Structure 1
Amino acid sequence: MSPPKKTLIAIAGLGCETSTFSPSRTHAPAFHPQRDSEILETYASILRPGTHLGEAAEWRGALIGHALPGGVVTREAFEALTAEMLARLGRMQGLQGLWFDIHGAMCVEGLEDSEAELLRRIRTVIGSEVVVSASMDLHGNVSRALLHQCDLLAVYRTAPHVDVLETKARACANLVAVLALRAGGGASAGGRRGLPLKAWVPVPILLPGEQTSTRMEPAKSLYAAVPEVEAMAGVLDAGVWVGYAWADEPRDRAAVVVTGWDRAAVTRGAERLARMFWASRAEFEFVAPHGSLDECVDAALASRARPYFVSDSGDNPTAGGAGDVTWSLQRLLERPEFGEHSGSSRRVIYASIPAGPVAVGIAVAAGVGGTVTVTAGAEVDDTHAGPLELTGRVHAIKHGDPHARTEVVLQVGSIYIILTELRKPYHHEHDFTDLNLDPRHARDDIVVVKIGYLEPELFDMAKGWMLALTPGGVDQDLLRLGHKRIRRPMWPFEREREEEPDLRARMIAASCEPLTGVDE
């Protein structure tokens, strides 16, 4: 007797946190698309044979791609990757489930609500009966249209995100559980055809991630309440989305989604979380002391804490900044403390500025110890400052980085500037030590890094830290960016609004049913 046939589940999705305020554009290669077995290898820790999920279903990779956050995705890139994804899904016969592996804040040229559009196209291939479970970043956006086409959603519960794989595994586990219930005829109290009910509350709040870190209040308590709601009888999953502040689209705002089998429970849970969020709106503050770049550098110089980190937050490449804004570096070079003839013992590390293959090639040709003059930055985003001509000594060279390709450290005065062939985020200690830089043990170092809140390794290393409110495509001062398309009123754009928003839960139709209502 042959063994029973396993449930067949496909994996597909595209993710890119996209700033519409950045002039950069994201092209298809930036997604580093993976196919077939490559996808299964990427998620082997949760889907490999022998694990619960690996044994519960047969998983097949179609196409996934996750780009470094950046500017708007070109229509050409979206169409090419989507067409290949649909072709691969079309060759998979007998699909019962789909893991929709996305971020939730992707913007595409000429499209509105691009993840919903991507899933709409996928549905034309796989049909409305296939159960779809999406995993998302809490900085994504949940529109009514997206939630309608998804049957399940799972979202990160930490920022910085230390539960990425845990969330993806939960999305898959929920999918397997629902498919098993449907096969057994269970969950009759839920929606039609054994699908869970979906309660959605859009919350008119739009805040940057640097004001909503789960390391501190009130986000800490808000997200601590999520598993409490999930533990309620009749609830399958609960999530809170902060939303993505640097995309000017109508769907951009916070949201709460609770799924499960009991209508009263999912409604009550969703409304509880939404009211908690709204009630605490005025309590959200930056995750670190903040100020202008000069104020932050002055504080660092006056402090004995080492290493002292300064976040160049407006051009953070992991939030969607172009990464090549030279505004902050120019001001550091102009400060007398760090100039070529300053004689300062205060060493500054600056991470980083893309210089392109020509400038990096000049430094590589000169070798460590050589003196070069190169031009760097502002090739993409010259809105705030132009390219910089830098003359300095080559301190270190490293080849083969998956993001930067080649990295060079150029010492200009007492500033050690990391130049990259392509933009790269600097989140790990080895990113510095690989370049013969050691901020942990060099007591005079100030580390200026293009980042918002510090990622875990840098956070643990830092003895002092300030957030510099610098210009760029992910400017923390949302009010000066000029949003034109978000739904108003929206906190904090209208701080004086007197009326309370409608925080009642909306029940969203199952994917196999017509969508009702408007995306209010």
Structure 2
Amino acid sequence: MKILIGQIAHETNTFSNVKTDEESFKLWGWDVGEAVISKNRKVRNYVGGMIDRAEQLGIEVIPTFSTFAYPAGVITSLAYEALKEELIGAITKATSYDAICLALHGAGVTESTEDLEGELLKEIRTVIGYEIPLVVTLDLHANVTQLMVQEADVLLGNNLYPHTDSYEIGKEAVNIAKTIIQKDLKPTMYLAKLPMIIPTSTTNLPPASEINARCSEWEENERIVDCTFYHGFPYTNIADIGVTVLVTTNDHPDLAKEAARDVSSYIWGIKDQFYQKKPSPKEGIAQALSYDGHPVVLNETSDNPGGGTPGDGTFLLRALIEEKVSNAAFGFMYDPEVVDIAFKAGIGSSVDVLLGGKTDDLHGEPIALKAYVKCLTDGRFIQSSPMGKGGKINLGRSVRLQCDGLDIIVCSVKSQTLDEQIFLLHGIDVKEYKIIAIKSSQHFRAGFEPNSSKIITVDSPGLSTLDFTTFDYTNLKTDVYPLKAVSQVATK
């Protein structure tokens, strides 16, 4: 038995002014052939799960092409064509295989299409036809479309946020592909769409945890292969946006429909639990300082690079400085210009810089700072978070600055902070600090909850703010809650 594997993944924030080009993908990996296997084997991601499970089952893996770019603005047409050329070209060249497993995202938008994944799968079908099983993993934040459902045999999404189950979902994709090949599974899917968008919501807590429990109850039925609650990706100005429930059965379409509609109705009934106002940076700092334990993690959800933001927003850092907070570490700010200045000055030097606020005007103005250069690094480490554990991370040249009791890490590559490794790389033990400030919405929880005494989410203007009224949604094809009042649930 032979299975082709590949990956193209991007979560597109169409409100960002930073377009995603081919170099954006190559920065994080543009792997062809055997490099796909060597880079991902034993790594806790989708592709790693596919590889490891196939090898456990004695299935021959035929690697094609694997890449992803960090979330940002729309993918350029040139980049999209290059992506298709690599993946579809590799599939076309393959001569003998029994199934294909792909790791996609589900929220990709290009200059030419609002549905990267659906259109990509459609083009792949023109090459392979409809006899070859095509099993696809998607991110929990996929805006799942009917075209994706039409072109894939099975779509599998994360159940957890943080996405600590990506590896397991990759393994499941191979298991399902095998059962289809052996004629033991005839998958039927039903997609229920809800006219609503929700803020980033961890599945560790209600209401998302309760919805997952409802899905799990349905999965106890042996005829149901998968029941997934997709949160959708709200930071995108497209027509097909929002929460969905996708149920896959073994040739029981009526059951798939019943389960999907039940879960979607349940979501609609508790929808208002998702919308909770979070404190401003200064309010969050006050809460942290009044709390007895340490460290307290302040996560700046409004400038979460994992949601396509610039990563150089200054609202939280400015508040820490203005409130004269000491014994705090900020990790990290994306600002290659400041990194360059620090490297030229050298360790032990004092530098005058304008930090952050360079990508746009939305995320705050640059901060005029006189700081001490404590250390310089290459920004490389091995990820320790349960999400993506074992992955090799390269944030480029990086620096630890010190200013009035604050430690500030600045990096040359944009990313959200998932675990303590970027701090350790710069000589910072997070357990010794009162406040740890980071840019992330929920993924950081997998790495930081075990090492923090309290987590406080702060919100301010930004491309991943929890306040959806600040975005100009011009392409919606129907009324969407909470932007507008919607009286009845849609499940088609």
| TM-score in terms of structure 1 length | 0.85
The answer on 1:363 being equivalent to 2:350 is no
Structure 1 residues 461-493: Cα deviation after superposition (integer angstroms, max 9, x where no partner): 221222111111111111222222234322222
Q: Of 348, 354, 359, which aligns to 1:375?
A: 354
Q: Does 1:317 find its partner at 2:305?
A: yes
Q: CA deviation at 1:127?
A: 2.1
Task: Tell me, yes or no, if structure 1 residue 432 matches structure 2 residue 419.
Answer: no
Paired position in structure 2 for 1:124 = 126
Q: Match for residue 420 of structure 1?
A: 411
CA contact (8 A) 2:32 2:65 kept: yes
Relative to structure 1, the CA distance from residue 202 to residue 294 in structure 2 (aligned partners, 3 Å threshold; closer, same or farther) is same
What per-residue deviation string (whole Å, max 9, x for no partner) do you get for residues 480-512 of structure 1? 2222223432222224x33x2233xx5xxxxxx
Q: Which residue of 1 aligns with 2:328?
A: 348
Conservation of the 8 A alpha-carbon contact between 1:355 and 1:375 = no
Q: How far, CA to CA, are the matches of 1:409 and 1:378 in structure 2?
A: 18
- Give the Cα–Cα distance (whole angstroms) in 1 for the partners of residues 253 and 51 of structure 2: 35
The one-character-per-residue Cα deviations of 1:73-128 (angstroms, maximum 9, x if unpaired) are 22221111211222111101233311121111112123221111111222222223
Distance, in Å, in 2 between the alignment partners of 1:392 and 1:206 is 42
Residue of 61, 68, 71 corresponding to 1:69 = 71
Which residue number in structure 1 is paired with residue 233 of structure 2? 244
Aligned equivalent of 1:133 = 135
Map 1:60-209 onto structure 2 (within 5 A): 60-181=62-183, 195-209=186-200
Q: Is the 8 A contact 1:47 1:54 kept in 2?
A: no
What CA distance in whole angstroms lies between the structure 1 residues aligned with 2:450 and 2:474? 38
> 1:27, CA displacement in angstroms?
2.2
Contact 1:97 1:130 in 2 (8 A): yes
Q: Deviations over 1:179-201 (max 9, x none)?
A: 111xxxx55xxxxxxx4221111
CA distance in 1, matches of 2:164, 2:208: 15
2:243 to 236, 254, 258: 254
Which residue, 14, 23, 30 being the options, matches 1:33? 30
In 2, Cα distance between equivalents of 1:376 and 1:26: 24
Rounded to whole Å, the distance in 2 between the matches of 1:48 and 1:246 is: 32
Quote the Cα distance in structure 1 between the aligned partners of 2:323 and 2:50. 56
- What corresponds to 2:324 in structure 1? 337
**Paired position in structure 1 for 2:402:** 411
The partner residue of 2:260 within 257, 270, 277 is: 270
Pick aligned residue for 2:17 from 23, 26, 34: 23
SS at match of 2:306: coil
For residues 259-298 of structure 1, the aligned pairs below 5 Å read 259-260=248-249, 261-286=251-276, 290-298=278-286
For the residue of structure 2 that corresponds to 1:87, the secondary structure is helix
Q: Deviations over 1:27-69 (max 9, x none)?
A: 22332122211222344344558x5665353221111212222
2: CA distance, partners of 1:253 / 1:197 = 22
SS at match of 1:405: coil
Match of 2:206 in 1: 217
Kept after mapping to 1: 8 A contact 2:54/2:61: no
**Using a 3 Å threshold, how does the CA distance of structure 1 residues 53 and 265 change in structure 2: closer, same or farther?**
farther
Is residue 2:370 matched to residue 1:391?
yes
> CA 1:118–1:275 in 2, change beyond 3 Å: closer, same or farther?
same
Paired residue secondary structure (2:263) = helix
Counterparts of 1:47 and 1:423, CA distance in 2:
27
Please report how far the alpha carbon of residue 223 of structure 1 lies from its aligned counterpart in structure 2 after TM superposition.
0.6
How much is the aligned-residue C-alpha RMSD, in angstroms? 2.1
Q: Partners in 2 of 1:397 and 1:137 — Cα distance?
A: 35
Aligned pair count reads 469
Aligned residue type for 1:11: I
Q: Which runs of 5+ in 2 are unaligned?
A: 43-48, 381-392
Distance, in Å, in 2 between the alignment partners of 1:154 and 1:13 is 14
Moved more, 416-425 or 241-250: 416-425
Match of 2:7 in 1: 13
CA distance, structure 1, for counterparts of residue 139 and residue 411 of structure 2: 27
- The structural deviation recorded for 1:133 is 0.6
Q: 2:182 is paired with a residue of what secondary structure?
A: helix
Deviations 1:373-421 (A, max 9, x none): 2333233233343333322101222114243211101112222211112
How much identity, in percent, do the aligned residues show? 23
Q: Is the 8 A contact 2:362 2:461 kept in 1?
A: no
Q: Deviations over 1:338-382 (max 9, x none)?
A: 4xxxxxxx22212222221x4323312333321112333233233
SS at match of 1:490: coil
**Aligned pair 1:303/2:291, yes or no?**
yes
3-state SS in 1 of match to 2:239: coil
Whole-Å separation in 2 of the counterparts to 1:53 and 1:221: 35
| Greater shift in the superposed pair: 452-461 or 314-323 | 452-461
Runs of 5+ in structure 1 lacking a partner? Answer: 1-5, 188-194, 339-345, 507-520
Whether 2:446 is the aligned partner of 1:466: answer no
Map of 1:475 onto structure 2: 465
Letter in 1 for 2:71: P
CA distance in 2, matches of 1:151, 1:290: 40
Whole-angstrom CA distance in 2 between matches of 1:21 and 1:130:
37
Amino acid at match of 1:274: S
Conserved? CA contact 2:54–2:174, under 8 Å: no
What does the per-residue CA deviation read over 1:295-336, in whole Å, with 9 as the maximum and x for residues that have no partner? 111222222221112111111111221112233333433x15
Instruction: Please say if residues 40 and 60 of structure 1, whose CA atoms lie closer than 8 Å, have aligned partners that are also in contact.
Output: no
Q: Report if aligned partners of 2:312, 2:363 keep a CA contact under 8 Å in 1.
A: no
Choose 309-318 or 384-393, whichever is displaced more: 384-393
Moved more, 34-43 or 156-165: 34-43
Equivalents in 2 of 1:36, 1:120: separation in Å?
23
In structure 2, relative to structure 1, the CA distance for the partners of 1:17 and 1:310 (3 Å cut) is same
The aligned amino acid for 2:407 is Y
In the alignment, which of 432, 435, 442 is matched to residue 441 of structure 1?
Answer: 432
